[in-house]
């Protein structure tokens, strides 16, 4: 038995993999990875795969990055973890100081959790609890966008809007007010992203006007709904939303778990609208893709609403065992050092241009209805009929064919349904981007025959 096959046999005997119909692995090979280096992953037989999706959008500066490795080794020798209630440590304080400096102005408090969904839960609870502490007991609901995604725990799932993940669990979920997404895929022909986005804001305006007395917060993914097939919109939506939330006394929760840390061309997507949300949620790239860690940044007004004598029982008594884990915080600090020292955002601008050029011809493909991009996120949407934008029946799993082809060519592309996307680590080279585009083009050709 080959090294890969032997390992896969052991895996399939004991593991239940995430987001997977396990029966698929009767015919779809599982890929065992022995090591990673930069943008490359290597299996047990030495075959290499270019990680075009940053291992679920987390990796920023490559696998086994020597700078992050060194920082982690040092931290492990000093302190791996300590309880964060009643105790503190160097890495978490340094990280919080730096995040407060880098985040949109006014976000002065960091509350840690250990994954993206947990950060969403924290923000929902904090917003709700803030209004309770102020005696606003009618405020119990949240507004979200159609096609949104905020994670898989029950609260996060409830404020998402992807039926594939949500429908089964609906009886367990809180009721939310869902407003149509400003998704620019839906714009009229000839209409600009900005005009469409502005037009779609009318729905949000209407929902806020109608429900603001009972709404705690609006939650959304700034600029790109990544898990929602990478649908995108113009930053003006965030500007309008900030104004409206202020006017109606509703919090704004910006879930930058996927789009934060340079993905959309700025360090944080909110910067493009010049706004400060009431809650900024970060995870994924926070540790450069090394360790599970998340943080909710908020401002002093929220913090002060919880700050009182213990017996008033206004404190935020939420916790996770690994809150503010020292190794995670150290990986995050090393990641921020790379941003500081390497002029990453400027280099990303060049890489984004390479991605755009390398895929420009694909926009003409008879089954590619759109190639869209926000910075280092580029997506191509396949359709059966381009004129009417009729999708392929989902049961045909066309995107999976692109995935399978890419693997034979040593590229890890993992289409979202029929949307093929690139979200690579920032250490990718222009030549590697050209390879991605070439392989994607071949895969699209094969999958749409």
Tell me whether residue 107 or residue 157 sits nearer to ligand PMP (CB atom).
Answer: 157
**Backbone phi and psi for residue 102, each to the nearest 5 degrees, phi listed first:** -85, -30
**Closest separation between CB of residue 299 and ligand PMP, Å?**
21
CA–CA distance, 166 with 397 (Å, rounded to integer)? 20
Cβ 349 to ligand PMP shortest distance, Å: 23
Task: Name the β-bridge partners of 231.
Answer: 225
The CA distance from 189 to 328, in Å, is 46
CB of 406 to ligand PMP, least distance (A): 20
| Contact status: 227 vs ligand PMP (CB under 6 A) | yes
Q: Compare residues 116 and 288 and give the one whose CB is closer to ligand PMP.
A: 116
- The structure tokens listed for 29 are 């090979």
Reference 141, options 275, 251, 306; nearest CA is 251
Nearer to ligand PMP, 126 or 383 (CB): 126
Instruction: Say whether residue 92 binds ligand PMP (CB under 6 A).
Output: no
Give 219 or 273: the residue with its C-beta nearer to ligand PMP. 219
Q: Residue 144: enclosing H or E segment and its boundaries?
A: strand 141-145
| Beta-carbon count within 10 A of 236 CB | 17
Q: Shortest distance, CB of residue 145 to ligand PMP, whole angstroms?
A: 11
Shortest Å, Cβ 445 to ligand PMP = 29
Footprint of ligand PMP on residues 158-187 (CB under 6 A)?
none
CA neighbor of 241 nearest in space, from 159, 185, 181: 181
- Number of residues assigned to the chain: 449
Write out the two tokens for 310.
């213990």
Binding mask 193-222 for ligand PMP (x = CB under 6 A): ----------------------------x-
* C-beta of 377 vs 383, nearer to ligand PMP: 377
Q: Binding to ligand PMP by residue 65, rule CB under 6 A?
A: no
Place of tokens 């003409």: 364
> Residue 96 or residue 115: which is nearer to ligand PMP going by CB?
115
Spacing of C-alpha 87 from chain mean position: 30
Q: In this chain, which stretch among 111-119, 208-216, 324-332, 353-361 interacts with ligand PMP, using CB under 6 A?
A: 111-119
- Two tokens, residue 57: 């959008």
Q: Which stretch binds ligand PMP (CB under 6 A): 42-50, 86-94, 149-157, 234-242?
A: 149-157
Judged by CB under 6 A, which of 117, 178, 197, 369 binds ligand PMP?
A: 117
Q: Which of 43, 51, 183, 255 binds ligand PMP (CB under 6 A)?
A: 255
Report the site for ligand PMP in 271-290 (rule: CB under 6 A): 283
Q: Does 8 help bind ligand PMP (rule: CB under 6 A)?
A: no
* CA gap 432, 25 in Å, rounded: 29
Q: Among 41, 258, 280, 376, which residue sits at the site for ligand PMP (rule: CB under 6 A)?
A: 258
**Residue whose beta carbon is closest to ligand PMP:** 116
Q: Residue 230 in 3-state DSSP?
A: coil
Of 53 and 120, CB closest to ligand PMP: 120
Q: Which of 38, 104, 151, 288 binds ligand PMP (CB under 6 A)?
A: 151
3-class SS letters over 322-386: CCCCHHHHHHHHHHHHHHHHHCHHHHHHHHHHHHHHHHHHHHHCCCEEEEEEECCEEEEEECCEC
Torsion angles phi and psi, residue 349, rounded to 5: -60, -40
For 160-198, give the DSSP string.
---HHHHGGGGGGS---EEE----GGGSPTT--HHHHHH
What residues line the site for ligand PMP (CB under 6 A)? 115-117, 120, 149-151, 221, 226-227, 255, 257-258, 283
């Amino acid at each position: 038995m080959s090294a890969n096959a032997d390992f896969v046999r052991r895996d399939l005997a004991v593991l239940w993999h995430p987001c997977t119909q396990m029966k698929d692995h009767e015919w779809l090979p599982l890929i065992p990875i022995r090591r990673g280096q930069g943008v490359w992953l290597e299996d047990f037989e030495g075959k290499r795969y270019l990680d075009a999706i940053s291992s679920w959008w987390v990796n920023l500066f490559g696998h086994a990055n020597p700078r992050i490795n060194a920082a982690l080794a040092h931290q492990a020798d000093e302190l791996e973890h300590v309880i964060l209630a009643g105790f503190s440590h160097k890495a978490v304080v340094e990280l919080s100081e730096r995040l407060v400096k880098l985040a949109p102005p006014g976000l002065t408090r960091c509350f840690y959790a250990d994954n993206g969904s947990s950060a969403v839960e924290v923000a929902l609870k904090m917003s709700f609890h803030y209004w309770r502490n102020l005696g606003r007991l009618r405020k119990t609901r949240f507004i979200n966008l159609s096609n949104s995604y905020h994670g898989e725990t029950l609260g996060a799932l409830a404020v998402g809007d992807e039926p594939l993940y949500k429908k089964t669990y609906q009886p367990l979920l809180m009721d939310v007010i869902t407003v149509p997404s400003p998704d620019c895929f839906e714009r009229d022909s000839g209409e600009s992203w900005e005009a469409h986005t502005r037009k779609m804001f009318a729905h949000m305006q209407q929902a806020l006007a109608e429900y603001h007395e009972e709404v705690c917060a609006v939650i959304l993914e700034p600029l790109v709904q990544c898990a929602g097939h990478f649908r995108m919109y113009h930053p003006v939506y965030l500007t309008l939303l900030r104004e409206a939330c202020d006017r109606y006394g509703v919090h704004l929760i910006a879930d930058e778990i996927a789009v934060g840390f340079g993905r959309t061309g700025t360090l944080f997507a909110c910067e493009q609208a010049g706004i400060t949300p009431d809650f900024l949620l970060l995870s994924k790239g926070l540790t450069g893709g090394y360790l599970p860690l998340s943080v909710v940044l908020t401002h002093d007004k929220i913090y002060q609403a919880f700050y009182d004598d213990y017996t008033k029982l206004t404190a935020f008594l939420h916790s996770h065992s690994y809150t503010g884990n020292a190794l995670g915080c150290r990986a995050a600090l090393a990641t921020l050092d790379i941003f500081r020292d390497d002029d990453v955002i400027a280099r990303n601008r060049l890489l984004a241009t390479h991605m755009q050029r390398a895929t420009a011809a694909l926009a003409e493909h008879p089954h590619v209805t759109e190639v869209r991009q926000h910075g280092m996120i580029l997506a191509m949407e396949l359709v059966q009929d381009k004129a009417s934008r009729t999708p392929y029946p989902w049961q045909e799993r066309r995107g999976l064919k692109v995935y399978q082809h890419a693997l034979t060519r040593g590229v890890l592309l993992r289409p979202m349904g029929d949307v093929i996307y690139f979200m690579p680590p920032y250490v990718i080279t222009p030549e590697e981007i050209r390879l991605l585009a070439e392989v994607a083009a071949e895969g699209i050709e094969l999958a749409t025959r």
